[in-house]
Amino acid sequence: MVSIGVKFLLAVYFFRIYSQKKTGVPLILGTGFSFFGLSQIPILSSRYFDDPTTNMYFGLLGAFLAALSLALLYYGTSLLYFKADSFMRKRFSTLLFVIMLAVILCFPFTLPTEAVLKNVFMVVATGFIFPILTLVAVIFFYIWVRLEPENPRKTSVFLVAAAWLTYSAANGIGSFYFGTAFDWIFYTLCIVAFLVLLYGMTLGKATGH
């Protein structure tokens, strides 16, 4: 619940910036964080249902929202670094979303109904979140390197890069330990990473907004 709350706080922050400045990056990031928070709700809801079909639909809905949020978060971040005509901006973001959507649509046709939820969780964590948010972290690291030492945003940009990298690694590795005695370690890392992200993006103005 803490992780969901922080995602919505970041969404509210960027929507507020958008309402003041009417620029694209805050709107995209705010929407991305909104969908990221929403993507966790179907997974949490599935715990209260024993019906495999219902849980399958919850899993697919959560995966779709996660894919949409990741594409938007990458796109918003790419606007901070790549040039306007770069393939790595809108076109690459669209490609990422199409690939993720194709993978999600394969689940109900290739797996038994009762196995979809667990496998969706694994694929979203290791196949979607881990590589895409690692790429987001790398972009922030590149931004950090380019900033002048006296730039007040430099420390915040580094913290945001480190937070994204920590969160992506905790998902990529932690999904293999889900339901074990060690999963609390990765859950704690995710919470800490998003709290650092909250600080770096709001008080630290890491995105320049």
Q: Give the pLDDT score at 163.
A: 96
Largest CA distance in the chain: 57
Digit-coded pLDDT (tens) for 45-65: 877 777 888 889 999 999 999
Q: Give the pLDDT score at 162.
A: 97
| CA 172/CA 127 separation, integer angstroms | 8
Q: How confident is the model at residue 154 (pLDDT cuts 50, 70, 90)?
A: very high
pTM of the model: 0.94
Average pLDDT over residues 181-189: 82
Q: Give the pLDDT score at 106.
A: 93
Q: Does 115 have pLDDT greater than 70?
A: yes
Q: Give the pLDDT score at 157.
A: 96
Whole-number percent of the chain with pLDDT over 70: 100
208 falls within a domain: no
Q: How confident is the model at residue 21 (pLDDT cuts 50, 70, 90)?
A: confident
108 falls within a domain: yes
Residue 9, helix vs strand vs coil: helix
Q: Give the pLDDT score at 209.
A: 76
Please provide the average confidence, as pLDDT, over all residues in the chain.
91
- Chain centroid to CA 194: 10
Q: Where in the sequence is the domain holding 34, given as residue range(s)?
A: 2-202
Out of 14-23, 85-94, 138-147, least confident range: 14-23
Residue 59 is encoded by which pair of tokens?
């899993």
Q: Does 179 have pLDDT greater than 70?
A: no
* Residues sharing a CB contact under 8 Å with residue 13, sequence separation 6 or more, in sequence order: 30, 201, 202
Q: How confident is the model at residue 182 (pLDDT cuts 50, 70, 90)?
A: confident
* Domains of the chain: total: 1
Pinpoint the alpha helices (H) of the chain.
2-21, 24-45, 52-78, 90-110, 113-123, 130-146, 154-174, 183-202
Whole-number percent of the chain with pLDDT over 90: 67
209 falls within a domain: no
Q: Does 92 have pLDDT greater than 70?
A: yes
CA–CA distance from 96 to each of 66, 176, 206 (Å)? 12, 23, 24
